[in-house]
Amino acid sequence: MIKAAEIVHIPAPPAPYFLECGYAVYNAGDQHPNRSNIGVFDLLFIESGTMYIGEEDRQWELGPGKSLLLLPDRYHYAVKPCEDRCTFYWLHFHTICSWQETPSEIPAAFQPEEHSRTFKTSPYTIQLPKMWTLPYPAQTYQLMDRLRQYSAERQSSAYWSQQQSFEELLRMMDLRQLEQTTSPVVTLAEQTEAYIRNNYRSELTSQSFSEALHFHYNYITRCMKQIYGMTPNDYLLHYRLEQAKLLLLKTEWPVAEIAKDVGFRNAPYFSNRFTLKNGCSPQQFRKQYSR
């Protein structure tokens, strides 16, 4: 099982975006520059040799096939010069979302509802290892070479290719894409979310959750609260109300029909919950976007 001492959690969308990358050669006696608060993520991939680098009170000895994610708001410094020839790739990227760094066993404490209000969708949290042994170093180096080649092309032709290759790199490094690193808690929480999205129009109970997911409802609830900050019923209500918003904007259906379509048996109850969540009634919400 691949383990990471720390994980950097980045919610998306909007996805992190590529800025620039390069390839560097340090001879014996050379060292990484000391920098502070550079404002972007700095991702290093060691190809050969050894680099000695630190961030705040942490220090690493990075050999071939190792990666290190340096954070935008920290102090980075050389622990000591290279003792032999060291070659490595570097990549800068940025995100406008609020990211977090945690020990591997502690989940990030994001607020899905706040993210949904700002970006109009529930977040997917990309989990990048702080320091890692690359499972496929040759494939990583090929991707980096491809990204470097695009930088020599016109921006109009290079932009989409760069972003696509960068997202492919993130996907390779995203711990949630690797079954051997995904915790049972995350797996069950994601299965619960998918179950809700596929069945939100139906009447869902603690028994139906347990029967569909093959776990006791109390355990399902703990997993959902740990990963999404909401119980299954909280998430169900949240998702139903978000689907109602879409119908208010895209259809001329009566409010009572929308309430029924998204899983509410009682239209006045739907209107009450909608108003509490959004600060306006369904009719007022629709009127904001009508001429």
Q: Whole-angstrom Cα distance, residue 26 to residue 280?
A: 60
pLDDT at 74: 94
AA identity, residue 24: A
Three-state secondary-structure class, residue 20: strand
Residue found by looking up tokens 């509802």 in the block: 113
pLDDT at 2: 44
Tokens read off for 139: 């494939």
pLDDT along the chain (291 residues), means of 10: 70 91 95 92 96 95 96 94 96 93 73 76 86 91 92 82 92 79 78 94 94 94 86 94 91 94 94 93 88 65
Rounded to 5 degrees, φ, ψ at 242 are -70, -40
If you write DSSP's letter for every residue of 84-125 in order, what string do you get? S-EEEEEEEEE-SSPPEEEETTS-----HHHHHHHHSS--EE
Q: Whole-angstrom Cα distance, residue 284 to residue 248?
A: 10
pLDDT at 1: 38
Alpha-carbon Rg for the chain, nearest whole angstrom, is 23
pLDDT at 186: 79
Q: What is the DSSP letter of 74?
A: S
pLDDT at 120: 76
Q: What is the DSSP letter of 17?
A: E
Interacting residues of 6 by C-beta distance below 8 A, sequence separation 6+: 101, 102, 103, 104, 129, 130, 131
Contact 24, 122 (CB under 8 A): no
Look at phi and psi of residue 49 and say left if phi exceeds 0, alpha if psi is from -120 to 50, else beta: left
Residue found by looking up tokens 């290079």 in the block: 158
Three-state secondary-structure class, residue 207: helix
pTM for this prediction: 0.73
pLDDT at 177: 78
Length of the chain: 291
Residue found by looking up tokens 């020839």 in the block: 85
Interacting residues of 133 by C-beta distance below 8 A, sequence separation 6+: 2, 65, 66, 67
Residue 76 host element (H or E):
strand 75-78
pLDDT at 105: 60
pLDDT at 182: 60
Q: Which residues pair with 26 in a beta bridge?
A: 86
pLDDT at 166: 93
Q: Whole-angstrom Cα distance, residue 135 to residue 127?
A: 16
Q: Whole-angstrom Cα distance, residue 44 to residue 68?
A: 5
